Structure 1
């Protein structure tokens, strides 16, 4: 790809720093959202709230079908002969398995998974989800509560983030020399028109706006959570000044990581995060309610599998509309909004891996690891709620998940030490999201996968700046931005939709090009009969 030869820090024209239409639309969104919020805070909240409710009602079932179809088709591709095809025309992976899995886990799970891991299971424990009939707060409600959390953060959520769309992008980029941009997902449908026209810029901008909205939320919520935690643990003032200081430190961490690239900052931060998460998990399991957590996991996983389709296909016709809107539809729309840029990131870090490895890592292994994490933190919270050590019913009914995380952490073995460790862990998780998304947005904006360091830093600082302005207005405005995610999922879902049939098609094309399966009658390989090793030499 021609643009790949342009190195960060080299000579750039204005055009190479970013697509002007994409920049105008995405930066314009940030300016307009903040500007209108400053002008009429309530008006913006009411308008987005109305759009949020309408989107959840009209498109909620479509979002659910999209995630279900993506998961099952992806698993089918992984099990097919095409699953052996290598991504990026490399015989060997660019990075070790541990580093690769660390980046996937930390980037895709992100701060949201840590933020909700303690509070969501307890919420479903004290407010029975509509798929179940157990009495709230009883032993029978435990596995149901965990199973519902697994549904929101499990196989479906992960599959849409980095399977079929990542396959389409990998084939288009590494074989056909197309840029790693969301518009490339539509190239097989629209051809060159989508690559060079204004429509492609609009597609990219919609996906960037969805990611900005989805990333600013966790950044802002982390600032409020850390401020509350430092106030409880060390007596610091829980106010705007502390929140802004935390935001500045967080931005410095993830911007530094983003500008140093995938093979340095992003990779180091992810590995650090994994080691810290493993240490926290080991302490919880060994010194916490070990038997309860073990039994809860197996029972909950069984409930998750047996009730999978019922939970995944529940609609507002069979469940309270408010519940669907704020839980299943909200989370599914959030993941859809992230999906194109996450797929870009997964395709970029998975060179040398087989399609089967990528799908199994993203859609199976990572969700299982997530369910274990939710059981350790959320299961412990349920145990302490049942035994009367804590009482989070009122806080969670008011959606105070920042309070839930710290309260559960303080009840864990080690008390304040564990609370501080989990706050640090959450910070690094959010930082890994910030750096990977700053990098991915810079890739989309620049049109090549080694974007200028200024572009990476700009997007990281822009998201931190937006979070800071919204915190100045009040944490409630960040919640409004979170609701906007559901609205942005509409155009993004249309970008993802063709991947349901283009993903398998691209996988089989790669397998034929690599001579792993027979050529179609009368067809020729896009690269002829070149071996993977020869591909690698050409690419390098």
Structure 2
């Protein structure tokens, strides 16, 4: 395949015949489409036969990272904590504004692409989607929202209620602080976070994979810029490995934190002994669930687990809305979302020059860097499950509808927490000042209608959220390693087991080492952000190339 020259980022625009189209630009597969499908299949087959279980560079670097991180944590935990802590602090202070700008531009450009005529182009030369809308949206929500959707949904709004965010001047703990607290939470889990996880990068990957036959790997994001030949070599393997390491760090953290949260919850609710033994059993069960799901693939296990997850979340949400502080929740969401929109740019562009360093480091920059670390593999996953959807549908689902659903979820759990905090039914001030979000989640859940039963349901939901992230990321990491979208079941199982085992070892050393690993993902956001950066201009060009090829826009 020809190397992309300077100024010719999408060379196939000039060389492909346009496929036949139906009304309103719906694509009917043409001979060229079938040839492109065959090209992708041929490349995939070649990759399978060449490297059955993974790229040696990717496997070597990622496994080496896991071994070294665990080894240094065992031999010198204080030294490891100090080094990563220093790197985390430097990255947050020096590059925080860069991370924020990357997310802001990604969202704005993605919305522009979706609104343009090119937004009608379909992904993967398919007229019909591979899966139904509810299943598709369920997988997107569960995979991208992850365990943080429950872990932080209850505690973060309450934290911002008792500690006023620097973007606002309301008195903490008063009714005036309610919309501001929710708005700040919406910023961290809203349009910007979701956009970087599956819009522009997913468009670039979709075009170069489905239309040009390149693999679904992070290196493909740089192929139009640096050339396909270079990306097929060791340098491409290093790019993939860095992105995989970021996801491993970001996924092992929630897996480990879930074990501590479940252990604490079972002890509080049922008197089960709290300790490493209980945490290990939880990890074994969790690992068994998500490894089995990952082995069965996107169309079976991952899809079924995500659908059950969404149904349980809807049931919990409906119970809270109907039996909880209904009017307060409605009012809080409208006021909070209005404040979010009205203060959007103020919050999005706030830096350590106008806000305390510690606050920016542990809140906005931490979350945004975390999402950047996940972004390439999440984009791969979104591109894989969105075949047959239009670019507009994908962007709207990921960057608009999912954040709206997230804001409602944060209002139901976090808004209820604020209500009970205001009424004096609970007091989370001390726990949240110590960042004990597991305590906050369980305390709020017990205060909800149903008490112990609701708390148990929330724990189960958290577990399934983490499981859906574990299975999806085990699958995505295996796709990156194998270079095609049907990796060997043994490879999927290996990565699922490896992440659970890493969490178990770090928990044995103390939950603090899980926190150190979470800080490490902020450092990995530096190279990963450079992989994503070209998508700001390659994404619109790829969308335009897809639209021209499909006859959606004039060539």
Give the TM-score, by structure 2 length: 0.92
Partner of 2:252: 216
CA 1:82–1:2 in structure 2 vs 1: closer, same or farther (change >3 Å)?
Answer: closer
Partner of 1:439: 475
Partner of 1:182: 218
Distance 1:259 1:5 in 2: 23
Partner of 1:240: 276
Does the alignment pair 1:384 with 2:420?
Answer: yes
Distance 1:470 1:198 in 2: 31
- Check conservation: 1:296, 1:375, Cα contact below 8 A: yes
**Aligned pairs for 1:133-152 within 5 A:** 133-152=169-188
**Aligned pairs for 1:156-195 within 5 A:** 156-195=192-231
2:492 to 456, 464, 480: 456
Distance 2:474 2:382 in 1: 14
What's the offset of the Cα at 1:193?
3.0
- Check conservation: 2:43, 2:214, Cα contact below 8 A: no
Q: Which segment drifts farther, 192-201 or 115-124?
A: 192-201
What's the offset of the Cα at 1:12?
6.7
Partner of 1:523: none
What's the offset of the Cα at 1:286?
0.2
Distance 1:497 1:388 in 2: 47
What's the offset of the Cα at 1:306?
0.5
Partner of 2:4: none
Does the alignment pair 1:272 with 2:318?
Answer: no
Does the alignment pair 1:415 with 2:451?
Answer: yes
1:398 to 407, 414, 434: 434
**Aligned pairs for 1:310-349 within 5 A:** 310-349=346-385
**Aligned pairs for 1:224-263 within 5 A:** 224-263=260-299
Distance 1:180 1:194 in 2: 16
What's the offset of the Cα at 1:194?
3.1
Report SS of the residue matched to 1:117.
coil
What's the offset of the Cα at 1:195?
2.4
**Aligned pairs for 1:192-203 within 5 A:** 192-203=228-239
CA 1:506–1:3 in structure 2 vs 1: closer, same or farther (change >3 Å)?
Answer: closer
Partner of 1:22: 58
CA 1:466–1:3 in structure 2 vs 1: closer, same or farther (change >3 Å)?
Answer: farther
Partner of 2:25: none
Distance 1:85 1:255 in 2: 35
- Check conservation: 2:48, 2:484, Cα contact below 8 A: no
CA 1:377–1:91 in structure 2 vs 1: closer, same or farther (change >3 Å)?
Answer: same
CA 1:331–1:11 in structure 2 vs 1: closer, same or farther (change >3 Å)?
Answer: closer
Partner of 2:135: 99
Does the alignment pair 1:281 with 2:317?
Answer: yes
Distance 1:417 1:155 in 2: 33
Partner of 1:290: 326
1:358 to 380, 391, 394: 394
**Aligned pairs for 1:63-142 within 5 A:** 63-142=99-178
Distance 2:480 2:58 in 1: 9
- Check conservation: 1:18, 1:445, Cα contact below 8 A: yes
Partner of 2:465: 429
What's the offset of the Cα at 1:368?
0.1
What's the offset of the Cα at 1:89?
0.3
Distance 2:79 2:354 in 1: 32
Give the TM-score, by structure 1 length: 0.95
Does the alignment pair 1:476 with 2:516?
Answer: no
Distance 1:207 1:513 in 2: 30
- Check conservation: 1:4, 1:450, Cα contact below 8 A: no
Report SS of the residue matched to 2:124.
helix
2:545 to 489, 495, 509: 509
- Check conservation: 2:47, 2:482, Cα contact below 8 A: no
1:307 to 343, 360, 366: 343
What's the offset of the Cα at 1:192?
1.8
Partner of 1:536: none
- Check conservation: 2:44, 2:483, Cα contact below 8 A: no
Q: Which runs of 5+ in 2 are unaligned?
A: 1-37
- Check conservation: 1:7, 1:451, Cα contact below 8 A: no
Report SS of the residue matched to 1:179.
coil
- Check conservation: 1:78, 1:356, Cα contact below 8 A: yes
What's the offset of the Cα at 1:114?
1.1
What's the offset of the Cα at 1:13?
6.2
Distance 1:255 1:14 in 2: 25
- Check conservation: 2:198, 2:378, Cα contact below 8 A: yes
- Check conservation: 1:7, 1:452, Cα contact below 8 A: no
Query: How many residues are matched?
Result: 518
Q: Which runs of 5+ in 1 are unaligned?
A: 520-540
CA 1:412–1:126 in structure 2 vs 1: closer, same or farther (change >3 Å)?
Answer: same
Report SS of the residue matched to 1:17.
coil
Distance 1:95 1:354 in 2: 13
Distance 1:317 1:11 in 2: 49
Report SS of the residue matched to 1:296.
helix
Partner of 2:191: 155
Distance 2:441 2:274 in 1: 16
Distance 2:554 2:230 in 1: 31
Report SS of the residue matched to 1:390.
coil
- Check conservation: 1:93, 1:351, Cα contact below 8 A: yes
Distance 1:15 1:78 in 2: 37
